[in-house]
Structure 1
Amino acid sequence: MAKSFSPGGRLMRTLMVGLIATLVTLSFWGLSKFDFFENFERSTLDLRFRLSPTPNDADSSIILVLLDGGSMDVLPWPVPRQLYSETLSMLQDWGTRAVAFDILFDVPSVYSAVEDSIFGAIASTGSTAFVMALLQREGSLIPDNAIIEIPIDSAQLDSAWYCTPPTQMIARGAEILGSTSDRQDPDGVFRSVRLLTATPQGIAPSLPVALAWLALERPDISVNNDTFIMGDIALRTSGNCRLQLAYHGPAGTYTSIPLADLTAALNARATGQPCPVDTTIFNEAIVLIGYAAPALYDLKPTPYSPQCPGVEVLATAVDNILNENYIRKYPSWVSLMMALVISLLAAFFLSALTRIPLGALLAVLPTLLFLVVSLLLFRSGIWVETVWPAASGILTILAGGIFLFSSENRRKQEIRNAFSQYLSPDVVAQVTEHPETLVLGGDKRNMTVFFSDIWGFTGISEKLSPEDLVSLINRYLTTMTDIILETGGTVDKFEGDAIIAFWGAPLRLEDYALRACSAALRCHEAHADMNRQLVMEGYSELFTRIGLSTGDMVVGNMGSSKRFDYTVMGSTVNLGARLEGANKVYSTSIMVENNTFRNAESEFVFRELDTIRVIGQQEPVTIYELKCRQDEVTDELEAALREYSEALALYRKGNFADAASIFEKAGDPTSLIMAQRCRNMADDYTDAPEDWDGVFNLSSK
């Protein structure tokens, strides 16, 4: 079976690049947990947020009441608890579903202790949650209304031992306390929240969970493996019950109202003036009250902005919980499978194409497609790691490209080494640049083979010194070889003064017979010029015989594993060798058989010589003498060809005497040989014998 010219062939190169891709991918998978890759991945996560904001998806029922810079300009500081309690009462009157304060009221009011009592009393009349800070160090014990009953192994959660709760009067009024849930990543950006925390007293919910619990009218909460369940809501969490936030946009995405505007509404309410605030938006609303002024130091970095009010981060968490539109991160093994697909596809494209630059360009496509798909998945709330899979795809291209480049250079050098001795530099360059056209190892093709030999060379060599003999042979072979290579032929081998060559391999040619005939005539002409120089130098003339045969033959590297030749084999090749020797029988210089004649008669002139049966082959073959190119034919040559053809026809009919007369009249060496044969036949037979078929059997090679 044919195989491509390189150690192991293209399949082996593809497998090697595939192995490189696999090793690169597994290496990146192992490195993916290092800080560099995790930080880079987080940065790309932020980029995906910014490329696909979804402000319209933000829950419109979530409203923020903000103590912003404008409110601080008109309100006293600290803001009186009375103002907060009156605002809470007004919000309850407007029909809010639940209210949460993201303000830590951990010290008594500076204005009056009664303020805290009133604040707590008002809070107790509605669904109100307050924030508390959980601590690892010494602090207060966790209040009872900060604990919920959840059947869960506390080892699955982050833990805290103490807390900083609101003042006792305020805490008593809260239906539930929610812990601070912020969890910033190592780069300082807040991308997730902690839903639950284990404490010595029990499980403490975070403020977003507490507010969502109130809004959903206090459903049961449970945790099943990594799934947080609250009523009909099921959230797939990451380690330690953390929820990956799906931000819908930058700061200001949720409806917000300055606290000063609600203060104005309170004043209008007290004086009977029209309310400056649209109160209908608060009906069934979920309200978060918190800081937004930079001076209050509750601004947090998010994927969209380096400064976002912390209360808006909590609003995002509440939105994600209630609407189950959080970010779901695929497990690492999914990323590994995707990375393997990317790298192996890159390896396939890189190695499947013969041109490495084009292969590298196509090899980038799987990585680009993966990045597009990962962005589309992200818009559906699915986070697939992109950095290390994409990096593995790119490094596969680089490493695989380096391997293929070195392999390609090695293969080109192998081709140069294998063919430079018997192919022209131009052909070697073509084969080197287009090795896909080269098939070795036993390929059956229709080609033309060339055999040449010097007639009587043994006698000539005996008259020359070794030095002169080598010099003469080198001159002769150089002249002949140059012509063969110039016409696109391949020199098979030299056997003393003999040359074996062929056309049609390793590069496929359509006009191999024409090229071979052109080379034979040029060799004959160059030989005549060389003879004139040899005579002038005191050497004897050389007479070369050439045989051409066209047909199917096997071409390829043949020999042992350590020593082999790029050569041809088959009956067509054997016939070419016999035709070279048959020139001696007919006193001709260039002899071809019928296939070569049919393929080249449009451009060259031939003389049909005879039909013969060579040694080793049973089928007769019609032979021709190559005379010249079509544009070189003369009237004398045409007349001689007609005369010979007439005599040959009589000979084949068994009219030997008449044929002999015409052959003798022609008078050229070949005709005289045929005339003598006819005379001998005429002497032996009055009429043609019964088994006469016009075929002459050669008795020697």
Structure 2
Amino acid sequence: MAGETWKMIQERWRHHGRVMLGIALAATLVAWACELGGGLESTEHIAYDDALVRFTGGRGKSTEVVVVVIDQYSIDKISQSPQLQLNFGNWPYTRTLWARIAQELKAAGARAVLFDAVMDERTADESADLGFAQALRETGLPFYVGMSTSGTADQLARADFQAPVPLTAPEAAPATSPPEDDSFPEEFEDAKAPATPVLTPEALARALAFPASRTDGRPLEALAPKHYPVPPTPALLGAVNGVGLVDMEADGDGSMRRTHFAYTDGTNTYVTLPVRMMADLLGAKEVTLSGRTLRLGERTWHVDDDGSAALDYGGSLEERFVAVRLFAVLNDWIHRSQGEDLEVAAGTFQDKVVIIGGTAVGLNDIKATPFSATEPGMVKQATVVDTLLSGTFITRAPLAVDLGLTFFVALVSAVLLMTVRWTPLEVAWPVALVLGLHVLTGLLLKTSHTHVRMAMHALAGVGASVAALAFNHLVANRETQFIRQAFHRFMEPKLVEQMIRSRQLPRLDGENKEITAFFSDIRGFSTFSERFKEDPRQLVRILNTYLTAVSGALLREGGCLDKYIGDAVVCLFGAPMAQEDHAVRACRGALAAKAAVDALRVDFREKGFPDVYTRIGVNSAVNFVGNFGSDQLFSYTAIGDGMNLAARLEGANKAYGSVIMIGPRTYELAKEHIEVRELDRVRVAGKTEAVTVYELLALKGQLDASTRHTVARYHTALGLYREARFAEAAAVLEAEAARSPEDGPTAKLLERCREYLETPPEKFDGVANLEK
């Protein structure tokens, strides 16, 4: 069975292999064109987000990064405290507050601070800015702030990182002190602030730009046209350790999935805020991109060809990072100054990079990520920093890999559906394909941090599936038409249409299935035809009348006429249309054919024509059925040992004096519906195993009493015969032959018993040999 199935598959590949390849190639090209045209962007985003959340979420807390959140609770608590409000004002707070936060984080052992906001507006009280700058200098805590870009900002001068930085003379700035309040530590009071420095254009460019380059000949990512960086206030430029870009870098749907690491405005190069901080932490003097590699000092990360990478969030901000409220840090600064117990657990900030950012809705820093449509924007900076410290970015699979996988998916879809042609599979495959690609995408994201384009693969696979189904439908229509033309002469037309309507179309390229074969021919046809050698037309008319009578009886039982071989009729039951009761139908057809021939014999005798005594063989077995023949001529038929045995049984009737002989499998399938006589156990030529053969006598309950008595006596004699008690068997048969002299099997078995009595066999096993 497996071998025949494999042959069928090979046959379909041989006939339709080029079509399969063509469909796969066309589906791949269409999917790629849609990808290039942006038509799959939205679908790809949805698929990517779902896979990222399902397969990479829930990773646990970072051990490298802690976030200080400006949440609504902190805003409310500061606004409710008259002293805090007096010193720091309402949001946005004076920079004195950030000086206190920096002092506390330094005392708590923070490694560095990244402030996810810009400080590009001068406050009304400039001494607060200068005081903040002085506090940063005194603590020595690495502190980094963001800068945005704007279409109204001025273009910077070219930054020359080799030349010394020229500064102008500082301008005098008045020093102010907050109102005195003995209930707060002295540290709240600002010391005299230094003057505000005024940078030359060259120095300003040096402060904002950072060396970055590509060594592979490709350009760096460009800022938006005519957009230039907006510098922080001058007071901070000399105090913070560095500034970096904090633009949102959102995709077209507004969600933050990716980041670039370096940009250019055509004059200078700028890096993002996390990269600027990491460059100092790693001792890197420049950022280098080459191919799919990002380098900072001695460290490298895998990125995409365009110098970007997708963010491996691993969960929401709350799930991934230890979060401390701003108010708790501010309180700890007060408690530490007064020698009181701290609110934040010891070691929380020790050797950690601290990200400061807003989570309160009113701060307008709520962004979308794959994990949430309302996520604090600082999650992006925290994720990039955490990845640069100890993680891996998510990168796209190379285009060649994506195209290869796309073609593979399309080819598998086309080959599978065009080979199997099974309706449940045709329905289930597109769904299974999409689910399988989703799982594959997720597993690759999780295990190798590689993003394969699911939408392009799915489109190619589904497109190839649709094309394969259309091709199958076209082939099916052709096969349907072929079947209608091929079988309407050999089957009842209503059965042909029923077969087509129920989609029980035969596999014309062949299949193994159990069927029942019918063979019949006219006894002594050569002698019969001799009578009409002078009038061959009359012979043709007689033969056509005979074949029509036999064929009609078989067709009415749902048989398929296989072929005529002279006077012989070959008919199949159970193919091409599946029939669970094919054996019973064949038996009914054989009895009906015998009855039709008996009626025809009476008519022929009246007309003076020769007798048309017919012998029939019926056998059920698994055979290979399909179209057989050559390029010039082929027909639907069956081949196999089962067919050979049916033909042998038809011929064996002569040796047993029977009319209809059936094989053991036919008897097993139809025994509840028929009356039979067990004739003998026989061994077919070329076979060693003996089989039991039966004479089909009538349908169940239609056997007359006289014949039933004859059958019973025959079975008694057959039992004696098998025990080699030939004399006793002959006695039983002689008595029955005298009563029913017309019974052929009785006479034949009696003849054999007498022969063995005269010449005893040397070795007798009760099995007769059926010669060719």
Query: Could you tell me the TM-score, scaled by structure 2's length?
Result: 0.65
CA deviation after TM superposition for structure 1 residue 318, in Å: 0.9
Contact 1:226–1:239 (CA<8 Å) still a contact in 2? yes
1:84 alignment counterpart: 98
- In 1, distance between residues paired with 2:231 and 2:312? 29
For the residues of structure 1 that align with 2:113 and 2:665, how far apart are their CA atoms? 100
Q: 2:395 aligns with which of 316, 328, 334?
A: 328
String of CA shifts for 1:512-570, please: whole Å, max 9, x gaps. 999988756643433444577899xx977774233557999999867775665557999
Cα contact 2:286–2:297 (8 A) shared by 1? yes
- Indicate whether 1:523 and 2:593 are aligned: yes
SS of the aligned residue for 1:281 comes to: coil
RMSD over aligned CA atoms reads 5.5
Are 2:54 and 1:54 aligned? no
1:41-85 CA-to-partner distances (Å, cap 9, x unmatched) read 112222233334235143453322426443663551342222222
**Aligned residue number for residue 684 of structure 2:** none
1:239 deviates by 4.6
| Structure 1, unpaired ranges of 5+ | 609-623, 643-664, 675-701
Q: Quick one: which amino acid aligns to residue 372 of structure 1?
A: V
Residues 488-531 of structure 1 deviation map (CA, whole Å, 9 limit, x = unaligned): 755355699x5633458966999999998875664343344457
2:146 aligned residue (115, 125, 131): 131
Instruction: Please say if 1:152 is aligned against 2:210.
Output: no
CA change 1:48–1:456 in 2 (3 A) is closer
Q: Could you give the per-residue CA deviations for residues 160-191 of structure 1, whole angstroms, max 9, x where no partner exists?
A: 57421112221011222222243111111111
How far apart are the structure 1 equivalents of 2:5 and 2:430?
25
Matched, 1:315 2:382: yes
CA distance in 2, matches of 1:513, 1:279: 88
Structure 1 residue 396: Cα displacement: 2.9
Residue 96 of structure 1 is matched in structure 2 by 110
Q: Sort the Cα spacing of 1:223 and 1:494 in 2 relative to 1 into closer, same or farther, 3 A.
A: closer
Compare 209-218 and 446-455 and name the one that shifted more: 446-455
Aligned positions of 1:594-673 closer than 5 A? 634=706
Partner of 2:276 in structure 1? 210
- Is this contact kept in 1: 2:65–2:382, CA < 8 A? no
Q: Which amino acid aligns with 2:103?
A: S
1:256–1:4 distance in 2 versus 1, CA, 3 Å = closer
Change (3 A) 1:85 1:483: same
Q: Quick one: distance in 2 between partners of 1:65 and 1:607? A: 97
- Cα distance in 2, alignment partners of residues 439 and 290 from structure 1: 70
- For 1:649, the equivalent position in structure 2 comes to none
Give the aligned partner of residue 386 of structure 1: 454
Identity %: 21
What is the alpha-carbon distance in structure 2 between the residues aligned to residue 628 and residue 301 of structure 1? 84
Counterpart in the other structure of 1:656: none
Letter in 1 for 2:149: L
1:122 aligns with 2:135: yes
Distance in 1 of aligned mates of 2:618 and 2:452: 63
Q: Following the alignment from structure 2 to structure 1, what is the Cα–Cα distance between the partners of residues 432 and 349? A: 51
Q: Is the 8 A contact 2:40 2:456 kept in 1?
A: yes
Q: Is the 8 A contact 2:617 2:651 kept in 1?
A: no
Please say if residues 193 and 242 of structure 1, whose CA atoms lie closer than 8 Å, have aligned partners that are also in contact: yes
Per-residue deviation, residues 220-258 of structure 1 (Å, max 9, x unmatched): 643332311123432222354223212232343423333
Distance 2:743 2:62 in 1: 103
Tell me which amino acid in the other structure corresponds to 2:29.
Answer: L
Paired residue secondary structure (1:390): helix
CA deviations 1:405-460 (Å, max 9, x no partner) are 3423432442342233224569856799666676669x9x9966322499979999
Q: Give, in angstroms, the shift of residue 372 of structure 1.
A: 1.3
Question: Is there any run of 5+ residues in structure 2 with no aligned partner, and where?
Answer: 80-84, 158-203, 681-692, 716-737, 748-772
SS in 2 for 1:481: helix
Cα 1:293/1:84, change in 2 over 3 Å? same
Distance change >3 Å, CA 124–CA 217, structure 1 → 2: farther
Contact 1:450 1:516 in 2 (8 A): no
- For residues 342 and 626 of structure 2, what CA distance do their matches in structure 1 show? 98
Once the 2 structures are TM-superposed, how far is the Cα of residue 596 of structure 1 from its aligned partner? Answer: 8.7
Q: What is aligned with 2:263?
A: 197
Which residue of structure 2 aligns with residue 694 of structure 1?
none
Q: Provide the C-alpha distance between the structure 2 equivalents of 1:578 and 1:258, rounded to a whole number of angstroms.
A: 100
Contact kept in structure 1, 2:508 and 2:636, CA below 8 Å: no
Decide which of 429, 441, 444 is 1:377's aligned counterpart: 444
Q: 1:111 aligns with which of 119, 125, 128?
A: 125
| Residues 618, 650 of structure 2: 8 Å contact kept | no
Report matched runs for 1:495-574 at 5 Å: 498=567, 500-502=569-571, 522-529=592-599, 543-547=611-615, 561=631
Q: Is the 8 A contact 1:98 1:214 kept in 2?
A: no
Instruction: Give the match for residue 76 of structure 2.
Output: 70
Counterpart of 2:466, as a letter, is L
2:257 touches 2:370 (CA, 8 Å); kept in 1?
Answer: yes
What amino acid is aligned across from residue 319 of structure 1 in structure 2? D
Matches within 5 A, 1:152-301: 152=214, 156-160=219-223, 162-199=228-265, 202-216=268-282, 218=284, 221-253=287-319, 254-278=321-345, 280-301=347-368
For 2:229, give the aligned amino acid: C
Asked if the contact 2:397/2:451 (under 8 Å) is kept, the reply is yes
Q: Distance in 2 between matches of 1:356 and 1:99?
A: 62
SS at match of 2:309: strand
Q: Aligned residue for 2:172?
A: none
Cα gap change, 1:286 to 1:424, in 2 (>3 Å): same
Q: Deviations over 1:559-617 (max 9, x none)?
A: 7756655579999999999999x99xxxx9x8799x999999x9767999xxxxxxxxx
Counterpart AA for 1:129: Y
Relative to structure 1, the CA distance from residue 599 to residue 21 in structure 2 (aligned partners, 3 Å threshold; closer, same or farther) is closer
Question: In the aligned structure 1, how far is the partner of 2:457 from the partner of 2:7?
Answer: 34
Alpha-carbon distance between aligned partners in 2 of 1:83 and 1:599, rounded to the nearest angstrom? 98
Counterpart in 2 of 1:396?
464
The separation in 1 between residues aligned to 2:112 and 2:624, in whole angstroms, is 89
Give the whole-Å Cα distance in 2 for the aligned partners of 1:495 and 1:293.
93
Give 1:208 deviation, angstroms: 0.7
Q: In 1, Cα distance between the equivalents of 2:423 and 2:62?
A: 49
Q: CA deviation at 1:110?
A: 0.9
For the residue of structure 1 that corresponds to 2:614, the secondary structure is strand
Instruction: Name the SS for the 2:304 alignment partner.
Output: coil
Matches within 5 A, 1:404-419: 404-419=472-487
Question: For the structure 1 residues 3 and 451, does the alpha-carbon distance in structure 2 shift closer, same or farther, using more than 3 Å as the test?
Answer: farther
Equivalent residue number for residue 420 of structure 1: 488
Is 2:12 aligned against 1:10? yes
**Residue 374 (structure 1) shift:** 1.5
Q: Counterpart of 2:118 in 1: which secondary structure?
A: coil
Q: Distance in 2 between matches of 1:597 and 1:180?
A: 86
Separation of aligned partners in 2, 1:517 and 1:158: 83
Deviates more, 1:539-548 or 1:337-346: 539-548
Aligned to 2:160: none
Q: Residue 97 of structure 1 contacts residue 215 of structure 1 at CA under 8 Å; is this kept in 2? A: no
2:521 touches 2:616 (CA, 8 Å); kept in 1? yes
SS at match of 1:335: helix
